[in-house]
Each structure stands twice: as C-alpha cells, then as structure tokens.
Homo-oligomer: A and B are copies of this chain.
C-alpha cells in the first residue's frame, strides 16, 4: 500500500475526533473587529498553537500590535523536499443579526440535511473549518510516519478586519515566513462534487477623480450656458472609457492581457454555468461588459473599469438650479495577467487630462493599486495539485479565476516573491459573514484528504 493510502485511512479513522476538535475551535468567540472579544482571539491562537505543538510542530503565539499570530514549523524526515507555507485565519465575523440564527453561532452543530450533513456555526467555513482540513492532514502524516515536506504555518487573527498588523509582522519575520510556495485554504469549490483551484486573482487600481471648474457654486440662471459644468466634464470622461462593444478604450489597457490556454478556455466553456441565473439572481438579464466574452471569462480573466461612486452638485430632495464648482467619481480597474498598475494609472490620468476643457482642473486621489496574481497554467506545482484533487474527487478540478482580490496573497507575492496555490472547499451557499454559516461535512472530511494528496504530490 502506498504511503498516501495510509495517511488517507488515518484521516478517515480520525474523523469523529477531528470534528470534535473543530467544534472546540468553533466555540471560541474570536470576533476580531470587536475589542470585547480580544481575549477570545488570544484563546483561539493559544488553542491552535497547542494543537500544532501536539502534532510535532514547533508552534508559538506571536504578539502583534493587534491580535496575535500563530507561527509553526515542522520538518520532513528527509532533505531535498519543498518547503510550503500554509496560511489561514482563526478570526471570524460578528454574528449580527443574531436573531436570524437558528442556533447559537458559537455552539456548533452537525445538521443532517437531504444534501448531506452540515457543520453550522460562525467560522465553520470562514475560515476555521477550512484551516483545520490542513491541520488534520498534517496530523495524519505525523501519525503515519511524518510529513512529506517541510511545512510552516501562519494563522492570522485579523483577516476579517483588514489585517492591520500583517505588513509589519511580515517585514519583521521575512526569513521565517519565506518558503517555496504558499498554500491558502480560503476559497471555494466549483460545486459540492467538483473541486477547484483558484489560479487567478484580479488586481485592482483605485483612483478618485475630482474635477473643478468655477471657484464657487453658481446660479444656473445667471451662468447657465457659458459656465463649464464639471458634471458634464466628468460624464464625458466616463462615457468615453468604454466603446460600443464594452471594451475599455484606455490606450494600452489590454497590454499584458493574454488569451486563456485552449485547454482552460475549453474547460470553462464546458462548465455548467448559467449566465442568466447568475445575473437573474441580482435582477439583471443581459450581460454587459465585453460583448465577445462569456460572463465567466469576464469575471475570472478579463480586466474591467467601473465607477463605484459619483457625486456633484445638489443631491437632496427636489431641485436646485446650481452649477456646481466640482464633481468627483471613484474609479476602479480590475486587472488581470501582466497588466501593470503603474502604466494603467499613467494612461488613465493622461486620458482624463486629455478630456479636460481649458477651465477644468483635476485632482487625482489614489486609493491603491495591486497587480493581478496568476499561478502559471504551465507550472509543475499546479499540474500536481490538479492530479491530486482529481484522484480525491474523481473529477477534473476547475481552474477558477476570482474576480476579487485576496490581500494576503498579494502581500506574499509582492514582499516574499511567493506564488500561492489556492485550494478551498467552501461552497457558494455557505453563508459566510451571514447568519447560519455552514460548512459541508464532506468538505471538511474530503478537504483533509485533498490536502494530504496535495502535500504528497508536491513532495514526490
């Protein structure tokens, strides 16, 4: 029997204990955003450090200016193996509105349903249930001969409140946190039976544009006509940013945007994704955006430009015949592939300036920029992880994109030059951040088995 089969058997044998351990962790009220629960966050960190020490890691609770980190290390029995860093977070979202919960959010329950058993409680899916899949995989290795590779673990306690302590902690512990690759279990499956690897995260460039014309608000009777209206100026800029086919018109915008490999494009075409259902759920029916791209492609692998907010002039009830002195809009660009945020910022600012009439001034207020992240489709690690998941689930894992960003992944890529393998077992209906959060029992159990297979595959 291959070594991995022993490990998988051990995971199965451990499963009721594993569930009991997860429930212990779920009972800790580690709400990071509310200072009333600071002690509970410390308690969760200590609980995790103790668990990791118990299975052969050298684990410690590390102070930060906010909630503590847990850092742990364990070596494989041999050299010449990769060193992997697993990231997860032990903090959870608040539980409001509490009266919508069907049971106490911090008294986790296993609920049997027609679609299978579910673990219900705050943090079940985000992220305690997910991170424990990895811990249980490590435990099974430990109990059957040892880890196949060097493993470090970082558990954070501030993910749900913006990770304020993380940058300084990373800078201060750069060497300790460096590894060959990062493993992240904070994403989802395609559906209950089909695993997914998130290989692409869109980047984001945020820029606020303030257009100013006259030096005060003017009466539209007195000045209407000859006085420049900044709302018109701004609207023209916004209107010019897309062509009739939904493409962004910014010069150079699509530089670094590659077409999908044929294999991935074909996989996406075959996915049972109902565009009309996806849009219909939010009251829409017709895809906007690039007309020659599917909805899935647009969200997972295409860049966008959107205005997230606009304001100018009188916005109260009724009317006011004012010509405002200024108007402003907040733009966001989702970036993919090798698009360069700096180059796009430069192009955008030039695009805006080119559309300013003589009497209009512009102020740019940057709200940050980060490039897209992509685990190269051709990478060996990705191929191995795909095969590992295929073996566990009996289905080819979906090579998913993610429309949004995961800041931690960007930070590790930027500061420690580490790529991330993002595999998670959440489902769209897990109600993370909402009442009655749940995690499929099958996700928890097969998730642990999946990590065992992945660690083994990456170490071969």
> What is the interface of chain A, defined by CB distance below 8 A to chain B?
202, 204, 206, 208, 213-216, 218-229, 231-232, 234-236, 238-242, 275, 278-279, 282-290, 293, 295, 298-299, 302, 304, 306-315, 318-324, 327-330, 332, 334, 357-359, 367-368, 402-405
Contact = CB atoms under 8 A, between A and B. Distances in A.
A229 B202 CA distance: 19
Given A306-B229, A306-B323, A286 B357 contact: yes
Give this chain's copy count.
2
Contact of A299 (B223, B235, B293, B313): B223
Given A226-B288, A235-B310, A236-B238, 19 more contacts: A204-B221, A206-B319, A206-B321, A213-B283, A216-B283, A220-B308, A220-B332, A223-B282, A223-B403, A225-B298, A226-B279, A226-B287, A231-B309, A232-B238, A235-B307, A286-B357, A286-B359, A308-B314, A309-B322
28 contacts: A219-B403, A220-B304, A221-B334, A221-B405, A223-B299, A224-B299, A224-B306, A225-B289, A226-B275, A226-B279, A226-B287, A226-B289, A227-B289, A228-B288, A231-B309, A232-B239, A232-B241, A232-B306, A235-B235, A235-B310, A286-B359, A288-B359, A308-B324, A309-B320, A310-B312, A319-B330, A319-B332, A320-B330
Nearest to A222: B403
A39 B368 CA distance: 60
Nearest to A333: B224
A384 B116 CA distance: 94
Contact of A312 (B222, B298, B309, B404): B309
Contacts of A357: 286, 288
The 4 A-B pairs of least Cβ separation, nearest first, read A221-B404, A215-B283, A225-B298, A309-B313
A357 B315 CA distance: 24
A322 B221 CA distance: 36
A222 B213 CA distance: 35
Contact of A221 (B202, B278, B307): B202
A225 B288 contact: yes
B223 A285 contact: no
A229 B279 CA distance: 13
Given A234-B235, A235-B234, A310 B311 contact: yes
Nearest to A404: B221
Given A229-B307, A231-B329, A311-B310, A367 B319 contact: yes
A328 B319 CA distance: 12
A233 to B, nearest CB: 9
Nearest to A283: B215
Contacts of A288: 225-229, 357, 359
Nearest to A201: B221
A247 to B, nearest CB: 11
Contacts of A321: 204, 206, 308, 332, 404
